[in-house]
Amino acid sequence: MDLLHFIQGEINTAIILITHDLGVVAGSADRVAVMYAGRIVEAGTTQDIFYRNAHPYTQALLKSLPSPDTTRDEKLTAIPGTPPDLINPPVGCAFAARCKHCMKLCQEEYPPEFQVGEGHTASCWLLHPDCPTPEERGEK
């Protein structure tokens, strides 16, 4: 990472990092695009993604990280299920089978990109203005 930062300063260029290491993301990136099953599901500044995230996959990903208080015996929170088969991708939202907020529409139609804030977007039906409330969806 030091070498990349050095090169970036020397030639004044942008760098695209593709990583699963959210520590590297937090420490290096200005903007973050979260991908699931080959598509960007949420994009925004690093602050947006870590503190104002809106997509259930981003939220689940961040919940699965250990915190500085996590002890050796503590189990980390895993995202249930497995990623979809990309040879036969699902019709609707690719995260539907693993999402605790999944609705019927999620399995039928891929969600469009919704504006969450300035320069912050996410593809999730929960962001549709007509989306039922958690109570209406039967969630707590």
Binding residues (CB under 6 A) for ligand SF4: these are: 56, 93, 95-96, 99, 101-103, 106, 111, 124-126
Measured from the CB atom, the residue of 74 and 109 that comes closer to ligand SF4 is: 109
Measured from the CB atom, the residue of 61 and 102 that comes closer to ligand SF4 is: 102
Question: Rounded to the nearest 10 degrees, how much is the dihedral formed by the CA atoms of 106, 92, 100, 61?
Answer: -130
* Distance in Å, CB of 92 to ligand SF4, minimum: 7
* Distance in Å, CB of 100 to ligand SF4, minimum: 8
Q: How far apart are CA 28 and CA 31, in angstroms?
A: 9
Ramachandran angles phi, psi of 98, nearest 5°: -115, 0
* Distance in Å, CB of 116 to ligand SF4, minimum: 13
Measured from the CB atom, the residue of 32 and 95 that comes closer to ligand SF4 is: 95
